[in-house]
Amino acid sequence: MTATVRTLDVARVRADFPILSRTVRDGKPLVYLDSGATSQRPLAVLDAEREFLVTANSAVHRGAHQLAEEATDAYEGARADIARFVGVYADEIVFTKNATESLNLVTYSFSDDRFPYHVGPGDEIVITELEHHANLVPWQELARRTGATLKWYGVTDDGRIDLDSLELSPATKVVAFTHQSNVTGAVSDVAEMVRRAKEVGALTVLDACQSVPHMPVDFRELGVDFAAFSGHKMFGPSGVGVLYGRRALLAETPPFITGGSMIETVTMEGSTYAPPPQRFEAGVPMTSQVIGLGAAVRYLEALGMDVVAEHEHALVGAALEGLGAIDGVRIIGPTDNVDRGGAVSFVVDGIHAHDVGQILDDEGVAVRVGHHCAWPLMRRLGVPATARASFAAYNTLDEVDALVAAVRKAQSFFGVSAAKADNGQSGVSAAKADNGQSGVA
């Protein structure tokens, strides 16, 4: 029997996203290549949120009436769906307002002496130079508060973690790293990072914001201790993030935000706290957003994450080839399509990234420009800012062609070529490029 090979019906997918049919800038078709910042939402997600709000809106885990019961069932049902999507148990999923809060929850725990793995002077915290600020600044603050030492893996010239740049030691207590870079698109060797951490008894924290929406991800299989991702990058609502923590670890983790709903008992002398995940969800949660995120993961499951990954792999390959064929355009990150995700950053010689973005916008092509909340990485790679195209399941090869054509239009507009390029800085935004700030981050 011949195996059936699934392919993505992109036209059908696009029909599920009403915003993709709109026009921008004097009637040009929208080419949305900024899903790495925020993805668009399908009708299934919009409908799920609306259905909840018009039929069952109520506070969860409170009240004895039918609406409260229905709201709680929908909320916890979404938790179960999201847990299944990333291969873990429902009680290992904590809802936060975004991935940044999830990561701050974890870093805070390492400063609390109630946490068995808390750090102090003489201990080492290890991160990488590849990190988004959300997985960098909280660890800097942890080191400042506790007296622990912050160390990091460096980055190779093509934007991957340099595994030869650092040796862990018995003093290493936690290793935090990204699964996929939001700048270079490089996919980290999670197995090797986890192996090294376990060898010295350190815990691992994974920033999975750029991986969970785009490829099959199973946290249990990866072997990480904590992981964070956000709803708005994976066809879901803004205002909801997710923290995964191994069940045994969450049971030992103290609360981050305290108040109603997360308590077990309260007296005037003190309080005891509910078991996870409720311990970490103080107050009335973002119920409709969680329900929308549950709908988003069901939508992605129906597409098939292996199919989504294969489709995006083809888009990235086409973008690398198309942009790489333009004189004066330089890819910032791996130029081959191996262990690489859907973020393609580039610079155009002689034109500041912000100006590239403006011309692309005039052509209807939406990309992100700036330092991408990764200043140390940009400095390491020797660029103040880049333009970044990031792909999702609803993008097409025709849109890759539109991106390439718009970049050529930018070169033509500014009258630059590879021969004229000086230091990659010209145009109206060059004066803003002193510290990587182009007015858009």
Q: Where in the sequence numbering do the catalytic residues fall?
A: 373
Return the half-sphere exposure (C-beta side, CA atoms, 13 A cut-off) of residue 59. Answer: 10
**205 vs 157, 166, 196, 228, 295, CA distance in Å?**
24, 17, 13, 8, 26
Rounded Cα distance between 354 and 368, Å, is: 9
Give me Rg for the CA atoms of the chain: 23
The conformation of residue 176, written as its DSSP 8-state character, comes to E
Structure tokens at 13: 């997918």
Dihedral sign from CA coordinates of 216, 218, 222, 228: positive
CA angle 391, 353, 367 (to 5 degrees): 25
Q: Report which of 161, 156, 158 is spatially closest to residue 175, judged by C-alpha positions.
A: 161
Q: Report which of 349, 360, 346, 354 is spatially closest to residue 402, judged by C-alpha positions.
A: 360
Rounded Cα distance between 201 and 215, Å, is: 29
Return the half-sphere exposure (C-beta side, CA atoms, 13 A cut-off) of residue 73. Answer: 9
Dihedral sign from CA coordinates of 398, 332, 368, 307: positive
End-to-end CA distance of the chain: 52
| Residues contacting residue 31 through CB under 8 Å, at least 6 positions apart | 363, 364, 365, 366, 399, 402, 403
Rounded Cα distance between 353 and 65, Å, is: 55
Helices then strands, counting H and E runs in the chain, come out as: 13, 17
417 C-beta neighbours (distance < 10 Å), count:
13
